[in-house]
A and B are shown apart, each in its own frame.
Chain A
């Protein structure tokens, strides 16, 4: 149980294009999903918290118009990187928190490697 998938696992795009990343909880309902960014050999940096049916909460310094988040159902959240630039290249990881979570366990997707040329 507690499986989270991400799609795509990697993507290469040209500068100026938009890229959508999907995060799905496969066997549980996730009222809250989180989007992180990770640079090589470093820890995770929280970008935003996504709540089903409401607007995402962005961390300080994260541009909400650039990183669009939609959490339309209890099993799916999407992150769209708009007008991507080479500095947006990174490893993006989502996590999901179950409705029934007691101790705030979060389960992570396998990540999406974004490379912007």
Chain B
């Protein structure tokens, strides 16, 4: 059972289009991070959300944390080829131990020029 369901798994769009990536769970998370990873490199932290209902913006990226802290979304406006990469959501479960992150399966985004 995947504790953090991430969708879609693959996404190929044209430059200028908008897209949304979702992470859903039946568990409550005390915090949730979004990472972006390029081939052959480690994931880079984009944002951390901690408060239910929180919205954070990072240029063309908008991150939301659900009111119940069980789900999150990443919305990219006017995608560019430079946005291409693997996007990963990862959360710290409330009541979890040893600071382990629970990862989604990732969304491989390709933005075509």
Contact = CB atoms under 8 A, between A and B. Distances in A.
Interface in A42-83: 42-44, 46, 49, 57
Contacts of B33: 104-106
Given A110-B41, A111-B40, A49 B100 contact: yes
Interface residues of A, number: 26
B69 interface: no
Interface in B81-104: 86, 88, 90, 92, 98-101, 103-104
Interface of A: 4, 6, 32, 34, 41-44, 46, 49, 57, 91, 93, 95, 97, 101, 103-111, 113
Given A41-B106, A107-B45, 10 more contacts: A34-B100, A42-B106, A43-B104, A95-B42, A104-B99, A106-B45, A106-B90, A108-B43, A108-B44, A110-B42
29 contacts: A4-B42, A6-B42, A41-B86, A41-B106, A41-B108, A42-B106, A43-B88, A43-B104, A43-B106, A44-B88, A46-B103, A49-B99, A49-B100, A57-B98, A91-B40, A95-B42, A97-B99, A103-B30, A103-B48, A103-B50, A103-B92, A104-B33, A105-B48, A106-B45, A106-B90, A108-B43, A108-B45, A109-B42, A111-B41
